[in-house]
Amino acid sequence: MNIEKLNQLKAEMQKYRPLDKDQIRALNKNIRIEHIWSSNAIEGSKIDKFETEAIIDKGITIHGESIGDVLSTIDLNEAYDYMLDLASHKQPLTQTVIRDLNRLALAKTHPEWGGEYRTLEVHPAKTNYNPYSEPFDIRPEMDELVKWATVAQEKLHPVKYAADLHYKFVTIHPFRDGNGRTARLLMSLALTENGYPVINIMPDKDSRNEYMEVLLESQQSGDPTKFENLVGEYMEQTLENRIKILQLNEKNKEDAQKDTNFKRC
């Protein structure tokens, strides 16, 4: 992860005048929809980005799509709302917060499972290596995660902290379902509360495979560096894209002021 470059990009982004309220609202809406669509798609949802927008924006049920996928979209939208509310009141991470993020992410699909630590072993698909914690180790390891987060929030660079939080949480894999979605919400929370934009892991085959493979490699080695680097690359791309939007906004405002037949008073 190139911390210096991330700091430079963030500083450059902050040099430009902010977008107006309508533009910010539209941008944040796009980021939300992309997060919900991509995070659910990584977990196997067949609903595409435009269908996700229709469900969230207009409450339209998509003909022919799984009811479970539709409900997962609604659930993750509510969990995303909660994540934004948490970010606006920056505070230490707690197990209650983590449970509630998971609880909301499963509110309509598996309400009986939400926020409940698993009792049985689970295993990732397509690998003989199992990085996930044993059921009896989950509670003490979640205690340690929260203790670590309290210190790491202050000591680590925000993007590194966000990547490590995702990595540590998903390696414990504490819940019966929704661990991946909860991990990505936690990463988004860590970024948002520190003034960084949300990054969304794309669910196309190549991007998803890279995400899963890098995460597994990091878990096998016990070293999150490769995963941190992947998150750092996503953040660089996101900041660079945000800067381009702000630059275009500046140019459009300047052009509008110059290109007129009306005389200035």
Q: What is the pLDDT of residue 260?
A: 81
pLDDT of 74 > 70? The answer is yes
Q: What is the pLDDT of residues 182-204, one digit of tens each?
A: 999 999 999 999 999 999 999 99
pLDDT in the model for residue 59? 67
Q: What is the pLDDT of residue 63?
A: 62
**CA dihedral sign of residues 190, 191, 195, 198:** negative
pLDDT over threshold 80, residue 265: no
Indicate the average pLDDT of the chain: 91
- State mean pLDDT over 23-39: 92
Q: What is the pLDDT of residue 124?
A: 82
CA distance 220 to 222: 6
Containing domain of residue 160, as a range?
3-15+90-243
Q: Please report whether residue 130 resides in a domain.
A: yes
pLDDT band at 250 (very low <50, low <70, confident <90, very high): confident
- pLDDT in the model for residue 64: 59
195 is in an annotated binding site: no
Closest CA to 40 of 98, 88, 86, 80: 80
- Could you give the percent of the chain with pLDDT greater than 70? 96
- Chain-centroid distance of CA 214 in Å reads 17
Residue 150 lies in a domain: yes
Domain for residue 76, yes or no? no
- Count of the separate structural domains present in the chain: 1
178 is in an annotated binding site: yes
Kindly state the tokens that stand for 152: 């790491």
Query: Within a domain: residue 42?
Result: no
Of the listed ranges 59-73, 76-90, 161-175, 207-221, the one predicted with least confidence? 59-73
Note whether residue 55 is domain-resident: no
In a domain, 184, yes or no: yes
- Is residue 183 a known part of a binding site? yes
To the question of whether residue 100 is assigned a binding role by annotation, the answer is no
Region 8-33: mean pLDDT is: 91
Please, where are the H alpha helices in the chain? 3-13, 21-42, 49-58, 67-88, 95-105, 135-155, 158-172, 179-192, 205-221, 225-258
Q: 114 or 128, which is more confident?
A: 114
173 is catalytic: yes
pLDDT value of residue 255:
87
Q: Is 208 marked within a binding site?
A: no
Q: What is the pLDDT of residue 17?
A: 85
Q: Is residue 138 part of a domain?
A: yes
Provide the CATH number for the domain around residue 121.
1.10.3290.10
Question: Is 105 annotated in some ligand binding site?
Answer: no
pLDDT at residue 199, rounded to an integer = 94
Has 177 been labeled as part of a binding site? yes
How far apart are the C-alpha atoms of 224 and 227, rounded to whole Å?
5
Q: Which of 35, 110, 166, 173 is catalytic?
A: 173
Considering the entire predicted model, what is its pTM? Answer: 0.90
- Note the pLDDT of residue 65: 64
Q: Per the domain annotation, does 117 fall within a domain?
A: yes
